[in-house]
Structure 1
């Protein structure tokens, strides 16, 4: 602590006296704890305000609607570009307003069809002149009147399907299944028999024949998934099979019989083949038989077509070469 002391110093002039003060300072050491410094209001600018983070009632921080943030480190944003356009209300800017006004004013942007439809639209009401003195002379009448009667049951709506019909699908055949190739039937009545591919049909089926003289397989249509292609091929370029298509093989259903007259008639008549079908069988088989005769191994090929395909124990089908 400091204690002031005063002493009088004599001078030559007795009338005037001067006094000097001396102070002694005693140093003391004190330990103080540092507290976090807070900016005083005097140091802040006059117009500035202290910003506090906005929070909800539950205590969560409110996210600014104008900001977009990353969902992951891959650069994926929470909101899309169009979404942020709406959140930031950019459509209120004069630049966007002017562009929208130009689009509305410019009629060349619209298609000719939409303008024509707009002209063709009729107003829902039209004026109709009415006779009589006290009837008002004119009345507003609907251009299209409502129907007087309504159906008791609602008709089911037909929904438009974007998928194409199966009949319009493109047909693809395996490269090994060319006309003249000898194939093995895997399923059906003639499973295991070897037949000759005659033609590709538009329905995606194969037209094959035995020929009928060799193995009893007639002219018929087969799906290519039930067929194993072999390396043996015949030359059928001499024959023309343009008339043979899917319509040619369409079955003709017999006319329905009267149920009252034929109660006890339980016999079912087998459908008979048309003469055209029998003639087509003869013509096609003639071409195939001639191709077999002209082949280098004609005798062996005949036996090959007459025999059935079989598997024995120890024979692995995936290692066979057909």
Structure 2
């Protein structure tokens, strides 16, 4: 046969044919009765009448209410924060998206939201403390020993939340005179950046390959012609 047995079973619609000794699903005797016959008095009423067992509702809404769909998906706060086995504290990552894409950064830890906390360090390639999703990084085999490193406790997901600038009502005469407010880095973030970079640079100096690591972290990642990332070993 040209088609398989399961394919012909579907094409010939064998599942619709009634098998011997099998009751049809369309048998009226299996369905529950909807109507009932009741006797009615009176000479001109016919003596009996067929009525419904369950009466239909007299009120019909003008609009159909949307049916509530039950979602079996858990909210984002209850998702499991899995981390790739190749990403461990101290691993050098290559960023693939964002303002600093192409830079090599050092992975510090995984935050509660599942995002990765990385740093350049800023002294070498200009990448500050940032959060990034692990699907936008490439893990390399280069690793630093940051076991003795102490991160500030205040560095968490709330730490990176952007503060909203308050819009003040301006008089008509001062509309063109005032300048637009812009976001500026706070002093505590500058202090934390200096402290983290100092510890990362100390870990680089203690590495036996410190001579190459400074240039490696400061260089941008790029591909030449006929080079494919899935065929490279990082």
Pair in the same fold by TM > 0.5: yes
Alignment partner for residue 134 of structure 2, among 224, 244, 261?
224
- Corresponding residue for 1:206? 116
Residue-by-residue CA offset, 1:21-78 (whole Å, 9 max, x unaligned): xxxxxxxxxxxxxxxxxxxxxxxxxxxxxxxxxxxxxxxxxxxxxxxxx8569x9x66
Distance between the aligned counterparts of 1:87 and 1:249, measured in 2? 65
2:89 matched to 1:166?
Answer: no
Structure 1 CA distance for aligned equivalents of residues 124 and 199 of structure 2 = 14
Change (3 A) 1:311 1:161: closer
Q: Distance in 1 between matches of 2:112 and 2:147?
A: 19
- 3-state SS of the aligned residue for 2:82? coil
1:247 corresponds to: 158
Does the aligned pair in 1 maintain the 2:165–2:181 contact within 8 Å?
A: no
Asked if the contact 2:95/2:137 (under 8 Å) is kept, the reply is yes
Q: Over aligned residues, Cα RMSD in angstroms?
A: 3.2
Cα 1:158–1:198 shift into 2, 3 Å: same
Other structure's SS at 1:295 match: coil
Deviations 1:268-315 (A, max 9, x none): 222111222111111111111111111110011111001111111233
Shift of residue 266 of structure 1? 6.4
Distance 1:88 1:233, change over 3 A: same
Larger displacement relative to structure 2 (156-165 or 240-249): 156-165
Equivalent of 1:294 in 194, 206, 212: 206
One of 178, 193, 197 as aligned partner of 2:88: 178
- Work out which of the two has the higher radius of gyration on C-alpha atoms and give 1 or 2: 1
Distance 1:251 1:299, change over 3 A: same
Unaligned runs of 5+ in 2: 1-16, 33-65
- SS of the residue 1:248 aligns to: helix
Q: Give the equivalent residue in structure 1 for 2:7.
A: none
8 Å CA contact 2:108–2:117 kept in 1: the answer is: yes
Would you identify which runs of 4 or more consecutive aligned residues in structure 1 move more than 3 Å? Answer: 70-73, 77-80, 86-89, 156-163, 259-262
Partner of residue 38, structure 1: none
Q: Which has the higher contact order (CA 8 A, sep 6+)?
A: 2
Residue segments in structure 1 that go unaligned for 5+ positions in a row: 1-69, 90-155
Residue of structure 2 equivalent to 1:147: none
Q: CA deviation at 1:189?
A: 1.3
Report the Cα offset of residue 186 of structure 1: 1.1
Among 195, 202, 205, which residue is 2:105 paired with?
195
Q: Report the counterpart of residue 230 of structure 2 in structure 1.
A: 318
How many residues align? The count is 183
- Name the CA shift for 1:196/1:79 in 2 (closer, same or farther; >3 Å): farther
> Are residue 233 (structure 1) and residue 130 (structure 2) matched?
no
Q: TM-score, normalization: structure 1? A: 0.50
Q: Deviation of residue 201 (structure 1)?
A: 0.9
